[in-house]
Amino acid sequence: MSFSSAAVVGSPRWLLTETSLAPFALKASESKGRRHPERPHLHRSPFMRDRDRIVHSAAFRRLMHKTQVYVGPNNDHLRTRLTHTLEVAQIARTAARALGLNEDLVEAVALVHDIGHPPFGHAGERALRRLLAGHGSFEHNKHALDRIERLERYRPEFRGLNLSYEVLDAVACRSKAPLCAEFADFRGGPQPSAECQLVDLCDSIAYDAHDLDDALRAGLLAVDDLQELELWNEAASAVGLDSNGEGQWMLTRRAAGAIVDMLASGLIAESEKRLASMRSPTDVRNALEFVIAFEDRRKDAKKTLERFLYERVYRHPQVKTAVDEAERIVERLFEAFMENPLKLPAADRARMDREPLALVVADYIAGMTDRFATRTAETLAP
């Protein structure tokens, strides 16, 4: 199905905001449109309307009870997928405004970027990928596109949220998204849009800083463990604190914020240089490399932090225990619904006549929150 735009009649007030955008920014007035054309709104641009549909979707609300980094269910102070998503949107909007990119599009892309993640973070995704090995596997970005284009409902006359091409394209063009038939309508050049690139890197800023903060709050790490990290030492120095001063809680909170500020400021500075020669969104698409990037002096320190998090946090025994249990829950759910599809909700059973049962079951499980998955597995237990 192709995309098309309804003609802009008159002078919608949101058009005035486009005069301040850089020439390489994607403009709502030049959008490729939606699969189902809609009349323009006087006050809200197409990208603003996309943002609102995402926020009001069931899939977005469920992010509130989906794990960001699985460290156990009993700590209300740790990030969820929803709070992580809001933090990414906050960082990305600041950078978009500084660079002259389309802030409304960036916000919509940031808010949609984690929709499609199954319960229990990457543990749930790994379990579904393994369970669907004989059915095309499971991939978050592909599932995310399917959920917002088909599984969510916005109007009775068609399926999906009917989002703008540019938002859907960003889902298909994320750095970790694979090449697949489902993305055939997208990826119109060697590189994603600048707005997509920006959200991708702001996502990494948020989880680098905040996974470290959460690990300290959860007791997986102590401040003394971080002395080998250049970014941490620079951040702690920048906020003028030490572990004997205002206390570890305040130290970690302020230092995590300083890491975000350092990485985001460096990203803006480097991206300004790379964007200087860009004259249109097409130039961005055809560039030899990303036009949104971190400073060289930050890249190694950032990679060191990510390796540290992988070894000391994501593979921590406490996390490993919780991850193993999460994968077992997903496996129990999958096996139970495959053995007795009548336990699926009516809307999902209706798909069984035209789609493989394994994919229907995987879609249903992927939409669950952590606590709903846990409770459901308990009720289905023999």
Domains, the chain, in order of start with CATH, read: 42-319 (1.10.3210.10)
- Predicted pLDDT at 348: 93
Return the biggest CA–CA distance within the chain: 64
Q: Above 60 in pLDDT, residue 349?
A: yes
Q: What is the mean pLDDT of residues 157-172?
A: 92
Instruction: Report the candidate in 220, 212, 202 with the shortest Cα–Cα distance to residue 251.
Output: 212
Tens digits of per-residue pLDDT, 22-56? 999 999 999 999 999 888 888 899 999 999 999 99
Residue 204 in tokens: 């990494």
Residue 347 in tokens: 């809307």
Residue 116 in tokens: 């499609």
Task: Say if residues 67 and 81 touch (Cβ distance below 8 Å).
Answer: yes
Give percent of the chain above pLDDT 70. Answer: 92
Instruction: Report the candidate in 312, 358, 373, 344 with the shortest Cα–Cα distance to residue 67.
Output: 373
Tens digits of per-residue pLDDT, 109-134? 999 999 988 999 889 999 999 999 88
Computed over every residue of the chain, the mean pLDDT equals: 89
Q: DSSP of 177-238, one letter per residue?
A: PPP-GGGTT---SSS--HHHHHHHHHHHHHHHHHHHHHHHHTTS--GGGGTT-HHHHHHHHH
Between CA 284 and CA 202 the distance in angstroms is: 18
